[in-house]
Amino acid sequence: MLVASSAKSIGTQFDSGTITLLWGTKNGIVPENSNYLDQNTSGIPDDNKSMDYWGRLGTSSELTLERPSLGLITLSGVNVVVMVELPQAANSSVAQYIVRTPCGRSQRAVGGELIKDIQIVIDPGHGGIDGGAGYFGLREHSVNLSVSEALKSELTSRGINSFLVRSSNYHIPLASRGLYADHLQADAMISIHHNAPTIAPSRHPGTEAFVQSNSNNSSRLGTLVYESVYEALDKFSWISWTSQYDAGVIRVLNKRGTDTYGMLSRPRTPTTLVELAYLANRAEANLIKSPDYLPAVSVAMADALEEYLTKPSEQSYSSSVRNFTAADAPGFSVCRDPDLGSPLFFDFEEDALKEAFLANE
C-alpha cells in the first residue's frame, strides 16, 4: 500500500520522487514493514531525471488526500505530519502514529500533541547545517524562528490555527519542507526569511515577497503580506534601509522559466516566501535586535494572513518578474532527523516483576 510520496531535489532544476511503501499485517501497519525508494536507490533508473517530475504536483493540479490532515508536536517538541494513526493497544493509554520526519522518512512516534484544522503553515527558513545568512551577531535561522514563533502566537490570539514547519535548529530538506502545507491541507503557507547581502541604500524598507508564478492566490497572499509588512517597517523612519530596485511582490524564475525557489515550486498550497529585512545592513540588524521588531512584523503578517482567510477576492494580482537561478540547497543526503522523544512509562507483567525482585535478594 503506497501511503506517502514526495519530491527530491536533483541539483537546482530537477525533482525526482521519493516513495514510502508500508505493508499491512495482522498487527496493523508498522514502520518496520516499510521500504523507502528514491532515484538514488540502487536498482532504480535515474537516467530520466531531466524530464522527471514525480511528486511535483504544482498549484494547478487536483489533489484528493486519503491520509489524515494532522500535525503532531512530538514529546521532544519536533513538529511532524501524521501519515497513519495506529490503533491504540488495549493495555496502553499512549497514542501511537506513523509520521513523516523532518528528513522525509517514515517513523513511529509515541505520544505527543495532535494538531488539527490547521489554517496557516509557517516555515522558519533554513536551520541545521543550512544556517542562512549571518551578520552582526545574528544568524538567520534563529531570527526566522523567533519571528515565526511570534507570528504563531499572534495568530493564536486571533483564533487562527497555525503550525510551524521547524520548531528548533535542525535541517529540513526543501523537498520535505515544501510538503507540510499540502499534507496538512492548510489554506496558505508563509516562509520567513531575512535578506543578505546589502544592496543599494534606500529611504524605505527593501521588503520582498516572492510568489508562485502559476497561482493568483499566491500573488494575493504575497501582496497582502508585502503591503502590511512594508507599511509597518516604514514607520521606523530613522532607519537607513537597503533595497533592490525591483523590491515588492516578485515571481523569481530560473533559466527554464519556472519558479526558482523550492518552497514555491513544490507546494500546491498558496505560498509566499517573504524577505522581511536585511540583516546584512547594520541599521536593520540593530532594529531586528530591538524589542520593537518582533511585535511590528508579527502583527503586520498576522493582519495580512487574517485578511487572506476572511476576505476572499476574485481580482487578479500582479507581480514583477526577476530572473535568477538559485544555488543548490542541502538535501536528504546530509539530513539527520532530530529525536522525536519517547514516553516514560513502565509496563511490567506481575510475574516478571516478582522474578526481578527475587534475583536481587
- For the ranges 47-51, 186-190, 267-271, 289-293, the lowest mean pLDDT is seen at 47-51
Q: Hey, what long-range contacts does 222-228 have (CB within 8 A, 24 or more apart)?
A: 222/249, 222/272, 222/274, 222/317, 222/319, 223/249, 223/317, 223/319, 224/304, 224/305, 224/307, 224/308, 225/190, 225/272, 225/274, 225/301, 225/304, 225/305, 226/274, 227/304, 228/300, 228/301, 228/303, 228/304
pLDDT given at position 54: 38
Q: 253 is written with which cell numbers? A: 524564475
Interacting residues of 111 by C-beta distance below 8 A, sequence separation 6+: 74, 75, 94, 95, 96, 341, 342, 343
Report the SS3 class of residue 149.
Answer: helix
Rounded CA-CA distance 300/17 in Å is 37
What pLDDT is stored for residue 63 in this prediction? 43
- State the chain's mean pLDDT as an integer: 84
pLDDT of residue 7 exceeding 80, the answer is no
- H/E segment holding residue 356: helix 350-359
- CA dihedral (39, 184, 308, 285) in degrees, to 10, reads -70
All structural domains of the chain with their residue ranges: 120-326
Out of 3.40.630.40, 2.40.10.120, 3.30.70.1230, 3.40.5.10, the CATH code matching 120-326 is 3.40.630.40
What H or E segment, with its residue span, contains residue 145?
A: helix 140-157
pLDDT tens digits, residue range 284-322?
Answer: 999 999 999 999 999 999 999 999 999 988 899 999 999
Least confident range from 130-144, 245-259, 287-301, 331-345: namely: 331-345
CB 98 within 8 A of CB 106: yes
**Dihedral sign for Cα atoms in the order 190, 19, 172, 246:** negative
Q: Give Cβ neighbours of residue 78 (< 8 Å, ≥ 6 apart).
A: 102, 167, 168, 170, 338, 339, 340, 341
Q: Tell me the per-residue pLDDT of 240-279, one tens digit each, with 9 for 90 and over.
A: 999 999 999 999 999 999 999 999 998 999 999 999 999 9
Sheet with 320-323: list strands edge to edge. 162-164, 120-124, 188-195, 271-278, 208-211, 249-253, 320-323
C-alpha cell at 247: 523590491
